[in-house]
């Protein structure tokens, strides 16, 4: 809502939160405004309600975040628990295949490969001309 210049109210927004997500939401909003999309129609409706361009943009970002969040909830409900493991990958586990954090004699007493059959000094090549 617009106020007369002498009666201007400033709302300071918190810069806290996930900056990466905020940046993605900003990019989403800008792309929506560049093309003929439902997001642009939403933005224009906010402008006709008397909101400033920044207020309308902020409202669009909030609307987009709501859409994304609802989609995430929907996807989480429809995905079966046994379909994917941690990180969204099938058959992923939280167990490591490593022997352990601290090497033991059991893990290091395996025989190592023997010496190379031919050392670098013994190999000779035709000189390049």
Q: What is the pTM of this model?
A: 0.53
The per-residue pLDDT for range 84-98, each reduced to its tens digit, is 655 656 555 656 555
Q: Is 124 helix (H, G, I), strand (E, B) or coil?
A: coil
The per-residue pLDDT for range 4-50, each reduced to its tens digit, is 666 767 766 666 778 898 999 999 999 999 999 999 999 999 999 99
Asked if the structure places residue 57 within a domain, the reply is yes
**Which residues form the domain of 31?**
14-81
pLDDT of residue 56: 96
Distance from chain centroid for Cα 65: 14
Asked if the structure places residue 87 within a domain, the reply is no
Asked if the structure places residue 27 within a domain, the reply is yes
Number of structural domains found in the chain: 1
Asked if the structure places residue 116 within a domain, the reply is no
Asked if the structure places residue 86 within a domain, the reply is no
pLDDT above 70 for 128 = no
The DSSP secondary-structure symbol of 86 reads G
Distance, CA of 92 to CA of 80 (rounded, Å): 15
User: What value does the mean pLDDT take over residues 70-80?
Assistant: 86
């Amino acid at each position: 809502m617009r106020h007369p210049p002498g009666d201007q109210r400033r709302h300071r927004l918190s810069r806290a939160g996930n900056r990466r997500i905020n940046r993605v939401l900003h990019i989403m909003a800008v792309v929506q405004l560049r093309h003929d999309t439902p997001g642009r129609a939403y933005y224009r409706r906010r402008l006709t309600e008397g909101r400033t361009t920044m207020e309308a943009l902020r409202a669009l970002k909030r609307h987009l975040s709501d859409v994304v969040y609802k989609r995430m909830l929907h996807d989480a409900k429809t995905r079966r628990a046994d379909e994917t493991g941690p990180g969204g990958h099938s058959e992923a586990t939280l167990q490591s295949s490593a022997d352990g954090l601290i090497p033991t004699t059991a893990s290091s007493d395996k025989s190592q490969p023997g010496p190379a059959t031919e050392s670098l000094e013994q190999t000779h090549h035709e000189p390049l001309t």
